[in-house]
C-alpha cells in the first residue's frame, strides 16, 4: 500500500498538464461546468422551495391526524366535508379532540400600497390552539374580537411600514373581501407558490368574511390523540368507522399529500425536475466538446503512447483525470454563484431558497458523473484506432 502511494506521488499529472496547457480553454471549460452546476442547483433549489413553502403551514398544525375531503387538491383548494365527521371521530378510543379548520383564498387590499391581491385565509376555534406557533397562540384572545385577524409578516409584498406599526403595538386597518378588518398581531409562516401569504382569524370572523360558507362545511379536521395512542392504529380505526366521504391522514401523510399535488398534478414540479436533467445534459455536451478538442489536439501523443504499448485504459485514466479536475474546478464557482442567486431570489420572493450540504453533495456527484461520461465518450475514437493511422 505504501509503495502504491509513493508511485502515485511520483506520477506525472498528465491530465492537469494538458488542461493547463491552454489557459483560455481551461477557463471556458470551467465556466461551462459552473454554468451546468448553477442550472442544476437553481432548479433543485426551486424544487425544494416549492415543496417546503407549500407545506410550512402543514408542519405547524397542532394535530396528530388530519381529516380532509377525498376531493381536496391542495391547501388552497380544499373541498369541504361535513362537520358531523368530527363528532363521529370523537367516539373512537384515543381521540382526545377533533376541531374544524376553515381555509379559503380571498381578495384583500394591501394596507400600504392599497393594491388588491389574493391571500390565504384560515379560520379556527381560538379556544383550541390550531398551530404550534407561539406568536399565534399568544394572540388567540385578540382574534375573538369581530373583524380582527393576524397577519403573516413573511408574506410576499410591500408591508414594511405596516409590520413596523403592528410591532410597535398599534393596529392596522385594511379591506378584506370588501369588509373592513383590523390586523392586531403578526406571526411568521411565509409565502408559497400557491399564495402570497396568509391571514389567521377565528372561525366566526371567517364565516363573516364568507357568508355563503356554512359552519357545517369544514375544510380540514384537526385530531389530537390521547397520550400513549399510536397515530397509525387510530387512523386505521377512523378509516374503518368513518364514511368514505372523508380521508384520514397522519400529519406526515398530509404533508406528502401537498407535495404529491405539486410534483404530480402541476406542470411546475415537472419543469423543475426537467431543468435538473437539462443542466446535466448541457454539462455533458460542454465538457465533451472541451475534452474531445483536447484529445484531437494531442492525437499524435496518444498515438505514440499506443505504439509504445499503452492500453486504452491508460488513455481513459488521463481523460478521466481531466474530467474530474474540471468537475471540481467548475463546482466551486458554480456553488458560489448559486449562493448569491439563492439570496437574491429569497429576498425578492420570500421563498425558502437555501443551500444545503445534501444539495451541494448531490450536485457534486452529478457533476463528477457528468464529466466522467463526457470523458468516456471523448476517448471512444482511440479504442479501435491503429497508431499508424493517427500520424
Query: Structural domain tally of the chain?
Result: 2
Predicted local confidence at residue 390, as pLDDT: 52
Question: For residue 148, is it within any domain?
Answer: yes
Q: Based on the fold, state whether residues 47 and 134 are members of the same structural domain.
A: no
Q: Residue 45, class by beta-carbon neighbours within 10 Å (0-12 exposed, 13-18 middle, 19+ buried)?
A: buried
Helices in the chain by DSSP H: which ranges? 2-10, 14-21, 23-60, 84-89, 134-137, 160-167, 203-209, 231-241, 251-264, 267-297, 299-307, 312-349, 357-378, 380-383, 387-390
Please determine, for residue 8, whether its predicted confidence score (pLDDT) is greater than 50: no
Q: 340-388: per-residue pLDDT in tens? A: 999 999 888 888 888 999 999 999 999 988 888 887 787 766 665 555 5
**Are β-strands 116-124 and 198-202 bridged in parallel, bridged antiparallel, or unpaired?**
parallel
Question: For residue 257, is it within any domain?
Answer: no
pLDDT over 70 percentage in the chain: 87
Q: Based on the fold, state whether residues 273 and 240 are members of the same structural domain.
A: no
Q: Based on the fold, state whether residues 104 and 153 are members of the same structural domain.
A: yes
60, 134 in Cβ contact below 8 A? no
Predicted local confidence at residue 3, as pLDDT: 46
- Determine the Cα angle at 62 with ends 61 and 66, to 5°: 70
Predicted local confidence at residue 199, as pLDDT: 95
Q: 177-194: per-residue pLDDT in tens? A: 889 999 999 999 988 888
Domain holding 160, by residue range, is 70-245
- Dist. CA 123–CA 365, nearest whole Å: 46
Q: Based on the fold, state whether residues 237 and 130 are members of the same structural domain.
A: yes
**Residue range 31-56: mean pLDDT, rounded:** 91
263: nearest Cα among 251, 274, 249: 274
- Using only the alpha carbons of the chain, give its radius of gyration: 29
- Dist. CA 183–CA 164, nearest whole Å: 12
**Are β-strands 95-109 and 148-152 bridged in parallel, bridged antiparallel, or unpaired?**
unpaired
38, 339 in Cβ contact below 8 A? no
Summary count for the chain: helices (H), strands (E): 15, 11
Signed CA dihedral, 148, 154, 155, 160: sign only? positive
Q: How many Cα neighbours within 13 Å face the side chain of 156?
A: 20
Q: Based on the fold, state whether residues 182 and 215 are members of the same structural domain.
A: yes
Q: 115-135: per-residue pLDDT in tens? A: 888 899 999 999 999 999 999
**Residue range 12-29: mean pLDDT, rounded:** 71
Domain boundary among 245, 275, 306: 245
Residue 127 DSSP symbol: T
Task: Quote the mean pLDDT of the chain.
Answer: 86
Q: Based on the fold, state whether residues 219 and 359 are members of the same structural domain.
A: no
Q: Looking at per-residue confidence, does 196 or 21 come out higher?
A: 196
Question: For residue 6, is it within any domain?
Answer: no
Question: For residue 198, is it within any domain?
Answer: yes
Q: Based on the fold, state whether residues 49 and 194 are members of the same structural domain.
A: no
- Dist. CA 257–CA 325, nearest whole Å: 42
Question: For residue 205, is it within any domain?
Answer: yes
Question: For residue 8, is it within any domain?
Answer: no
Question: Model-level pTM?
Answer: 0.81
118, 157 in Cβ contact below 8 A? no
Question: For residue 187, is it within any domain?
Answer: yes
Written as nine digits, the cell of 101 is: 379548520
SS3 221: strand
**Residue range 79-87: mean pLDDT, rounded:** 94
Q: Based on the fold, state whether residues 313 and 374 are members of the same structural domain.
A: yes
Question: For residue 134, is it within any domain?
Answer: yes
Predicted local confidence at residue 22, as pLDDT: 72
49: nearest Cα among 379, 311, 350, 353: 353
- Dist. CA 82–CA 99, nearest whole Å: 12
Q: Based on the fold, state whether residues 241 and 319 are members of the same structural domain.
A: no
SS3 129: coil
pLDDT over 90 percentage in the chain: 52
- Dist. CA 173–CA 382, nearest whole Å: 75
Run of H or E including 374: helix 357-378
Q: Based on the fold, state whether residues 165 and 234 are members of the same structural domain.
A: yes
Q: Based on the fold, state whether residues 356 and 320 are members of the same structural domain.
A: yes
SS3 152: strand
Q: Based on the fold, state whether residues 46 and 78 are members of the same structural domain.
A: no
Written as nine digits, the cell of 302 is: 496518444
Amino acid at each position: 500500500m505504501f509503495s502504491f502511494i509513493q508511485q502515485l506521488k511520483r506520477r506525472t499529472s498528465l491530465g492537469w498538464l494538458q488542461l493547463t496547457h491552454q489557459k483560455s480553454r481551461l477557463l471556458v471549460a470551467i465556466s461551462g461546468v459552473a454554468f451546468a452546476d448553477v442550472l442544476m442547483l437553481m432548479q433543485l433549489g426551486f424544487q425544494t422551495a416549492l415543496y417546503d413553502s407549500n407545506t410550512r403551514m402543514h408542519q405547524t398544525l397542532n394535530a396528530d391526524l388530519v381529516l380532509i375531503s377525498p376531493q381536496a387538491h391542495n391547501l388552497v383548494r380544499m373541498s369541504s366535508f361535513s362537520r358531523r365527521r368530527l363528532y363521529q371521530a370523537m367516539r373512537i378510543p384515543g381521540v382526545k379532540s377533533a376541531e374544524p379548520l376553515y381555509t379559503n383564498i380571498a381578495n384583500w387590499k394591501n394596507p400600504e400600497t392599497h393594491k388588491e391581491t389574493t391571500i390565504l385565509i384560515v379560520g379556527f376555534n381560538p379556544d383550541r390552539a390550531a398551530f404550534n406557533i407561539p406568536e399565534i397562540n399568544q394572540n388567540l384572545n385578540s382574534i375573538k374580537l369581530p373583524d380582527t385577524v393576524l397577519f403573516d409578516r413573511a408574506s410576499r409584498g410591500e408591508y414594511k411600514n405596516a409590520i413596523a406599526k403592528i410591532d410597535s403595538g398599534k393596529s392596522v386597518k385594511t379591506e378584506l373581501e370588501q369588509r373592513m378588518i383590523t390586523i392586531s398581531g403578526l406571526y411568521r409562516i411565509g409565502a408559497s407558490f400557491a399564495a402570497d401569504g396568509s391571514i389567521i382569524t377565528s372561525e366566526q370572523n371567517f364565516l363573516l368574511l364568507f357568508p355563503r360558507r356554512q359552519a357545517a362545511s369544514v375544510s380540514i379536521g384537526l385530531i389530537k390523540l390521547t397520550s400513549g395512542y399510536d397515530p397509525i392504529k387510530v387512523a386505521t380505526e377512523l378509516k374503518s368507522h368513518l364514511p368514505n366521504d372523508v380521508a384520514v391522514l397522519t400529519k406526515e401523510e398530509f404533508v406528502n399529500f401537498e407535495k404529491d399535488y405539486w410534483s404530480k398534478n402541476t406542470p411546475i414540479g415537472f419543469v423543475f425536475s426537467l431543468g435538473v436533467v437539462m443542466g446535466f445534459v448541457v454539462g455533458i455536451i460542454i465538457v465533451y466538446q472541451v475534452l474531445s478538442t483536447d484529445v484531437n489536439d494531442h492525437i499524435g501523443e496518444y498515438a505514440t503512447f499506443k505504439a509504445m504499448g499503452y492500453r486504452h485504459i491508460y488513455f481513459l485514466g488521463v481523460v478521466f483525470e481531466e474530467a474530474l479536475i474540471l468537475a471540481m474546478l467548475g463546482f466551486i464557482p458554480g456553488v458560489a454563484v448559486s449562493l448569491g442567486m439563492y439570496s437574491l431570489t429569497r429576498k425578492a420572493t420570500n421563498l425558502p431558497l437555501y443551500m444545503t450540504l445534501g444539495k451541494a453533495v448531490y450536485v457534486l456527484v452529478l457533476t463528477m458523473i457528468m464529466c466522467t461520461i463526457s470523458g468516456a465518450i471523448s476517448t471512444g475514437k482511440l479504442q479501435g484506432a491503429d497508431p499508424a493511422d493517427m500520424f
